[in-house]
Amino acid sequence: MSLIREKVVFDPSGDVFLLLERTDITPTDDVTPHQPTGDAPAHDVPADDAPTDGISIDQSVIEISKQLNDADGDPSAKLARREVELQVSSKHLSLASKVLCHCLEGLPIGDKDVRTIPLPHDDLGAMQILLNIIHGLTRRVPRRVDVSVLSRVVVLIDKYEFHETAEVLTDIWLESLQPTILQDHQTLAANIFICWVLKKPSEYNILTKKAIWETSCGLEDEDGCVPYWIISEIQSRRQAILSEVLDTLSKLLDRFCSSQRQCYQDDNCDPLALGKLIRGLRTFELYPIREPSEIKTSIQDLFSAIRSIDLSPFCAVFSKKDKRTRGRDEDHVCVHMDKDLTASLLGIEERISGLELRDDAHKDQFGTNVDD
């Protein structure tokens, strides 16, 4: 793997150099190493009349990703690791980020080696987008990005506290992506992280409710961006709901197994309803009643499965509230399993809600209260 250096200028008189990396699949002979002396190429120097080429940043990020994926199946592919030197203004960085302001404090003027800050773990494409915003190069900033690009940008916004600087653009991006973000399950973790960092309470609540209600495990975050305590809270709420549902089923079974009659219209109504419930629960591997941690399906699918069980009463009485029995025992109201279970599930479902962003407003990604 060869090491090649490029240079991108955001401020020709910039006094700080950020050093990032990217990996390309390209023949080494076709790449000209960056010469440390001399002026930067003209196309690297921002100009007031620069074309609106922000979308090209996104395309380069996507293209690099495609190349790396292709290399996995091609052992003959050559990888060229490029060091990319970004010439930037310390004044702009200090105003945009308290984090970088602290990093730049005390650096001697004029010593390029000392004023070069290596950031090997930061995403190059995302950093370029943010540096264009910070330096006022708005024509180079894309007006639309996909969720993948936005999530990488948001990682850096969170890391360096660029929230206020990038707010106008992130609002534009998020508005264009909102229908996708609220519906896409594949990027659910990234979407939750985006809305948490950008402080979007309504979207955050909707997405965390989706994680609780529609996923089989709470939340899977392969990229590890979502703070652990958010994942823990989602999982905790999921387990609490499962516990309540299983407890409801257990109590219903106990009541219909007891000597206390529920239906006074027909002697066969209670045992037949009990048999239907047990048979239905066995169909979905829910009987004997299991522990919440053993349920590997979504709460939504669990509710759907339970509701699909035929619990229609043997007798002709369908409501314990609006119809009293006649004949055998006029002093008792019939309790039928189908109506009872339906009402219980509906009550549980109506109480399910997502997380409130205001509860997390003073926490960082480690769950620490930033006001302490």
Domain limits, the chain? 1-121, 143-226, 237-351
Positions of the chain with pLDDT lower than 50, given as ranges: 1, 28-58, 61-62, 64-66, 68-69, 71-72, 317-328, 331, 362, 366-367, 371-372
* 107-129 pLDDT tens trace: 777 667 668 999 999 999 999 99
Q: Which of 251, 302, 259 is nearest to 281 (CA)?
A: 302
Tell me how far CA of residue 35 lies from CA of 32, 72, 95, in angstroms: 9, 31, 31
* 18-71 pLDDT tens trace: 999 987 655 544 444 444 444 444 444 444 444 444 444 445 544 544 454 454
What is the reported pLDDT for 162? 97
Pairwise CA distance, residues 96 & 161, whole Å: 8
What is the reported pLDDT for 332? 52
* 208-224 pLDDT tens trace: 999 999 999 888 888 88
Strand stretches in the chain, DSSP E: 2-9, 16-25, 79-88, 116-118
SS3 180: helix
